[in-house]
Structure 1
């Protein structure tokens, strides 16, 4: 009887381990770089770098970190995370060739927002990685009857650069609230040191 129970439990443990690995969020480490340089692979790598920085900037944030505000006029860490979420959505919409519209966002916990942001960045990077002509990926903003369109260049100095900037703010905020960034996460190599 004991042997049968053990034989039944062992496969369940492997299934559970397998499922938790499948549920792992993107950007714990940066994916291997492509063998060729082109427009799409370079932008994808920039977004991969952003994803890695965001992953580690937001990993292990506590409630007290999320409400931290360096000054009265500044955003809280959570408000900064919300802003990065919006920037990631803009980056993904460009990759999907969809306009950005003022729409209501579903209520999400911090962990849900973090996971969604990482998945949006990964999806955008994967699309751009397979692309050879970035001029097809404009940024379109629709506000009622008004539509504004920007060339892909604005994606680089706009949402991508802005999100990188704000990841740095999250790192600074968490250090100030007593929960520093994991120093084993190397932004140079995109790997986690042992």
Structure 2
């Protein structure tokens, strides 16, 4: 029930916010103690902050850019990060990942917003937890559910998404639109 209340609060807050009020412009809080939940939440906050700035100010030109014939375009990389963020938020919400679900096609702006909101929702839920053993990754299929321990969230979708944020920065630089130098990733703040 507690996680449902957090989700509803996040949805209500996000629905009242415009595109300019997406989470992770800055990392706004330090947690008071170090627990499994607060450390994981801070990892997610770092991901959110990096993704926010790797995707801020992108134009149509960058969306279709790719470094090589075999590589992903910028927008394909964002789409991949979206899938990773859904795995993470589903784990935090204790919901299975169901490959049978057909998600609607989203614009770049909608994908960006969903990723940032998924990361924020997962962070908000997990920061209150001390034991993450109940937040497994569950993949639902016709053959039955495959349950994977939370550990795999860290070295899997969370770190994979951080990796791909670096790729987004490189792609946009190569396309002629380098990331702004305003964010300080060490401090989680924006320089004036």
Give the alignment's TM-score, normalised by structure 1. 0.87
- Greater radius of gyration (CA): 1
Unaligned runs of 5+ in 1: 1-18
> Is 1:31 aligned to 2:14, yes or no?
no
Please state how far the C-alpha of 1:145 moved relative to its aligned partner: 2.4
The answer for the alignment partner of 2:184 in structure 1 is 186
Residue 8 of structure 2 is matched in structure 1 by none
Write out aligned runs for 1:76-155 (5 A). Answer: 76-102=73-99, 103-155=101-153
Superposed CA RMSD = 1.4
CA gap 1:143/1:59 in 2 versus in 1, 3 angstroms: same
Relative distance call for 1:114 and 1:165 in structure 2 (3 A) is same
Superposition misfits of 4+ residues, deviation over 6 angstroms: 19-22
Match of 1:8 in 2: none
Could you tell me which residue of structure 2 aligns to residue 40 of structure 1? 37
Q: After TM superposition, give the deviation of residue 21 of structure 1 in Å.
A: 7.4
* Number of residue pairs matched by the alignment: 176
Report what 1:11 is aligned to.
none
Compute the displacement of 1:146 (Å): 3.1
Give the TM-score taking structure 2 as reference length.
0.88
Q: Equivalents in 1 of 2:188, 2:136: separation in Å? A: 28
Q: Which residue of 2 aligns with 1:175?
A: 173
Structure 1 residue 144, shift from structure 2 partner: 2.0
**Secondary structure at 1:135's aligned position in 2?**
coil
Structure 2: which 5+ runs fail to align? 1-15
Mark the CA change 1:57 to 1:35 in structure 2 (over 3 Å): closer, same or farther: same
Change (3 A) 1:23 1:170: closer
Shift of 1:124: 0.3
